[in-house]
Chains A and B, each alone.
Chain A
Amino acid sequence: MIRTIAKKEVVEALRDGRFRWAAGLVGVLLLIALAAGTRQFLDLRAQHEAAKTETRAHWLQQGKKNPHSAAHYGVYAFKPKTALSLLDQGVDPYTGVAAWLEAHKQNDFRYKPAQDANTLARFGNLSGAIILQALIPLVIILLGFSAFAGEREQGTLRQLLSLGVPPTQLAWGKALGVGVSLAMIAVPAALLGSAALVFAGSNGDYGAAWPRFAGMAASYVLYFVTFIALSLAVSAWMKTARGALVLLLGFWVVNALLSPRVAASLSQRAIPAPGAFQFARNIELDLARHSDGHDAGKHTAKLLAGTLQKYQVTKVEDLPVSFVGIRLQDGEAQGNQAYDARYGELWNQYERQGRLQEALGVVAPFLAIRSASMGFAGTDFSQHRHFAAAAEQYRRYFIDVINQDIIQRAGNQGVYLRGQDLWSQIRDFEYELPGAGWVAQQRALSLAVLAGWTLASLGLLLLATRRLRLE
Chain B
Amino acid sequence: MALACLGLFLALLLYALASGTFQQQRQQQTLAATAQEETERLAKLKAQLLRIESGKASAAGFLDPRSGTAIGNTSGVRYITMPPAPLGTLSVGLGDLHPYFYKLSLRSKSFTLNNEELENPLNLLSGPFDLAFGIVILFPLFLIALNYNLLSAEREQGTLALILSQPISLKALVTGKVLVRGGALVVAAVAVTLAGGLLFGAGAAVFPRLLAWTAIILLYGLFWMGLCVWVNAWGRSSATNAIALSAFWLGFCLIIPSALNIAASALYPIPSRVEMIQSLRTAGKEAQEQGSRLLSRYLEDHPEFAPAPAPGAPPAPAPDFGSITYAVQMEVDKRTEPVLARFEQAIAQQQAFVDRLRYLSPAVLAQGALNEFSGTGLARYRGFQLQAERFHRTWQQYFFPKIFQKAKLTSGEIDTLPRFRYQEESLEAVVARSAPLLAVLTLLSLLAGGLSLASLRKFKRSL
Q: A118-B351, A276-B117 are in contact. Are A111 and B277 (CB under 8 A)?
A: yes
- Contact: B354 with A51, CB < 8 Å? no
Which residues of chain B come closer than 8 Å to A108, judged between CB atoms? 116, 118
| Pair count A-B, CB < 8 A | 220
Any A CB within 8 A of the CB of B239: yes
Known contacts A91-B125, A246-B145, A354-B122; can you find 9 more A-B pairs with CB under 8 A? A91-B121, A93-B125, A120-B258, A122-B127, A124-B257, A277-B101, A349-B120, A354-B120, A384-B121
Q: Are A98 and B277 in contact (CB under 8 A)?
A: yes
Within the complex, which residue of B114, B149, B239, B277 is in contact with A241, where a contact is CB–CB below 8 Å? Answer: B239
State how many angstroms separate the Cβ of A208 from the closest Cβ of chain B: 20
Whether B30 and A381, one on each chain, are in contact in the complex, defined by CB atoms closer than 8 angstroms, is no
Partner pick for B123 among A142, A242, A246, A264, CB 8 A cutoff: A264
A124→B261 contact, CB < 8 A: yes
A95 within 8 A of B: yes
CB under 8 Å from chain A, chain B span 106-122: 114-122
Contacts of B123 in A (CB 8 A): 264-265, 267-268, 353
- What CA separation (Å) do A90 and B19 show in the bound complex? 23
CB neighbors of A among B260-318 (8 A):
260-262, 264-266, 269-270, 272-278, 281-282, 285, 289
Tell me the bound Cα distance from A327 to B264 in angstroms: 52
Q: Is B147 an interface residue (CB 8 A)?
A: no
Partner of A47, one of B114, B258, B275, B289: B275
Q: Contact between A126 and B278 (Cβ–Cβ < 8 Å)?
A: no
Q: With a CB–CB cut-off of 8 A, which chain A residues contact B61?
A: 297
Which residues of A from 416 to 442 have beta carbons under 8 Å from B?
Answer: none
Complex partner residue of B94 from A119, A146, A381, CB under 8 angstroms: A119
A350 contact set on B, CB distance < 8 A: 120-122
Residues of A217-274 whose CB lies within 8 A of B: 241-242, 245-246, 249-250, 253, 257-258, 260-265, 267-269, 273-274
In the complex, how many residues of chain B place their beta carbon closer than 8 angstroms to a beta carbon of chain A?
84
Is B124 an interface residue, CB under 8 A from the partner?
A: yes
Q: In the complex, which residue of chain A has the Cβ closest to the Cβ of B243?
A: A18
Give the interface of B toward A (CB within 8 A).
Answer: 12, 15, 19, 22, 26, 30, 33-34, 37, 61, 94, 97-98, 101, 114-129, 133, 137-138, 141, 145, 149, 156, 237-240, 242-243, 246, 250, 253-262, 264-266, 269-270, 272-278, 281-282, 285, 289, 343, 347, 350-351, 353-354, 358, 363-364, 367-368, 377-378
**Chain A residues whose C-beta falls within 8 Å of the C-beta of B138 in the assembled complex:** 257-258
Residue pair A245, B243 in contact (C-beta under 8 Å):
yes
Q: How far is the CA of A173 from the CA of B360 in the complex (A)?
A: 43
A120–B118 contact, CB under 8 A? no
**A interface, how many residues as a size bin?**
35 or more
Q: Is the CB of B118 within 8 A of A274?
A: yes
Asked whether, in the complex, the Cβ of B239 is within 8 Å of the Cβ of A146, the reply is: yes
Q: Is the CB of A381 within 8 A of B120?
A: yes
Offer 9 A-B interface pairs, CB within 8 angstroms, sorted by A. Answer: A36-B266, A39-B266, A51-B278, A55-B278, A120-B257, A123-B254, A261-B133, A275-B117, A381-B120
Known pairs A125-B258, A275-B30, A276-B117; A265 contacts B129 (CB<8 A): yes
Q: Are B281 and A120 in contact (CB under 8 A)?
A: no
The answer to the question of A110 belonging to the interface, with a C-beta cut-off of 8 Å to chain B, is yes
Judging by beta carbons under 8 Å apart, are B124 and A114 in contact? Answer: yes
Name the B residues within 8 Å of A117 (CB-CB): 261, 265, 270
Instruction: Find residues 106-161 in chain A having any chain B CB closer than 8 Å to their own CB.
Output: 108, 110-126, 134, 138, 142, 145-146
Residue of B nearest to A36 (CB): B262
Complex Cα spacing A29 to B281, Å: 40
- Measured CB to CB, the nearest residue on chain B to A40 is B265
Question: For A93, what are the chain B residues with a Cβ–Cβ distance below 8 Å?
Answer: 125
Least CB separation from B120: chain A residue: A350
- Asked if A1 is at the interface of the complex by the 8 Å CB criterion, the answer is no
Q: Tell me, rounded to whole Å, the shortest Cβ–Cβ distance linking A73 to chain B.
A: 8
CB-CB nearest 6 A-B residue pairs: A126-B258, A124-B258, A94-B121, A91-B121, A261-B129, A260-B126
A281 at the B interface (CB under 8 A): yes
Mask, A2-26, CB within 8 Å of B = 1, is: 0000000000000000100000000
A58 interfacial contact with B, CB 8 Å? yes
- C-beta contact mask, A34-74 vs B, less than 8 Å → 1, else 0? 00100110011001101100110010001100000000000
A242 and B149 contacting across the interface, CB-CB below 8 Å? yes
Contact present for B242 and A58 (CB under 8 Å): no
Tell me the bound Cα distance from A260 to B277 in angstroms: 33
A279 located at the interface, meaning its Cβ lies under 8 Å from any Cβ of chain B in the complex: yes
Q: Find out whether the CB atom of A261 lies under 8 angstroms from the CB atom of B126.
A: yes
Q: Are B30 and A277 in contact (CB under 8 A)?
A: yes
What chain A residues lie within 8 Å of B238 (beta carbons)? 242
Q: Given B26, B122, B137, which contacts A264 in the complex, CB threshold below 8 Å?
A: B122
A94, B124: Cβ atoms closer than 8 Å: yes
Cβ 8 A contact of A32, one of B124, B237, B254, B262: B262
Q: Mark A374-404, 1 if CB is under 8 A from B, else 0.
A: 0000001100100000000000000000000
Determine the chain A residues whose CB is within 8 A of the CB of B237 once the complex forms.
242
Closest CB-CB distance, A336 to chain B, in whole Å? Answer: 20
- Report whether B274 and A95 are in contact in the complex, using a CB–CB cutoff of 8 Å: no
A180 at the interface (CB under 8 A from B): no
Q: How far is the CA of A368 from the CA of B19 in the complex (A)?
A: 23
Assembled-state Cα–Cα distance A425/B202 (Å): 59
Compute how far the CA of A117 lies from the CA of B98 in the bound complex, rounded to whole angstroms: 11
B285 touches A277 (CB 8 A): no
Asked if A97 lies at the interface with its beta carbon under 8 angstroms from chain B, I say yes
Known: A93-B125, A123-B261, A353-B123. A276 touches B242 (CB 8 A): no
Listed residue (A33, A62, A126, A349) with the most chain B CB atoms within 10 angstroms of its CB? A126
Known: A78-B274, A245-B242. A118 touches B261 (CB 8 A): yes
A260 to B123, CA, bound (A): 8
In the bound complex, residues from chain B placing their C-beta under 8 Å from that of A120 are: 257-258, 260-261, 264, 354, 358, 364
In the complex, are the beta carbons of A47 and B274 less than 8 A apart?
yes
Closest to A261 in B: B129
